[in-house]
Amino acid sequence: MRTAICPGSFDPVTVGHIDIITRASKLFDKVIVAVLVNVEKKPWFTINERIDLLKKATIGIDNVEIAGFDGLLVDFAKQNNACAIVKGLRAVSDFEYEFQMALTNSKLAPDMETMFLTTSSEHMYLSSSIVKQVGLWGGDISPFVPDCVHDEILMRIRQRSKLK
Ligand code: PNS
């Protein structure tokens, strides 16, 4: 049984994330999508909201589970007997940040491999921040987020914009 972890902030989930999760699910017996804390970011969605959106957006993928974890990614990976961490790599701009995290994680847990899947060309530009910016200013976010969670994400972004 080979388990991989797909970690991230997922604030909120995008079609780019779903592409990586779907492709990872074909390479491993089980994929656990882990919603973790990135100390560099101030999330708009709560952990529970992000987990709920991911659960809905991955309902059709049998070997995918969603979890939240407040701690080190390598500890979560070890607790779940994972053999790899899988991340999407969009562009050269992602590389330095992702490389730093991968090397840190391999220092903390030498047996844990990080694998990068190159993002599909149609998702190269996409990020959760883009979704929030477009939604906040009334743009159409439907090309960027899974259909089944579009309304929920939009509603939450609009609530947020009223608070500003
Ligand atoms: O989607 P993101 O924000 O690029 O994901 C980054 C994330 C959440 C995977 C990263 O910040 C993380 O692993 N957080 C958990 C704490 C941890 O293990 N930090 C050490 C790795 S540098």
For residue 74, give the ligand 1 atom closest to its CA: 18
The CATH number of the domain covering residues in 3-163: 3.40.50.620
How far, in Å, are 114, 115, 136, 142 from residue 89 at the CA level?
Answer: 12, 10, 26, 22
How remote is the C-alpha of 88 from its chain's centroid? 9
**From 77-81, 121-125, 152-156, the region with the lowest mean pLDDT:** 121-125
d(CA 114, CA 73): 11
The Å distance, Cα 73 to ligand 1 centre, comes to 7
| Atom 1 in ligand 1: residue holding the nearest Cα | 8
The neighbour count for residue 96, using CB atoms within 10 Å, is 9
Which amino acids are annotated catalytic? 17, 41, 90, 128
Q: What is the pLDDT of residues 54-100, one digit of tens each?
A: 999 999 999 999 999 999 999 999 999 999 999 999 988 789 999 99
pTM, full prediction: 0.96
Q: How many whole angstroms from 47 Cα to the centroid of ligand 1? A: 14
Q: Ligand 1 within 6 A of 14 CB? A: no
Domain ranges of the chain: 3-163
Residue nearest to atom 4 of ligand 1 (CA): 8
Distance 114 CA to ligand 1 centre (A): 13
**What's the rounded mean pLDDT across residues 122-148?**
96
Q: Mind giving me the DSSP string for 51-115? A: HHHHHHHTTT-TTEEEEEESS-HHHHHHHTT-SEEEEEE-SHHHHHHHHHHHHHHHHH-TT-EEE
* CA Rg value for the chain: 15
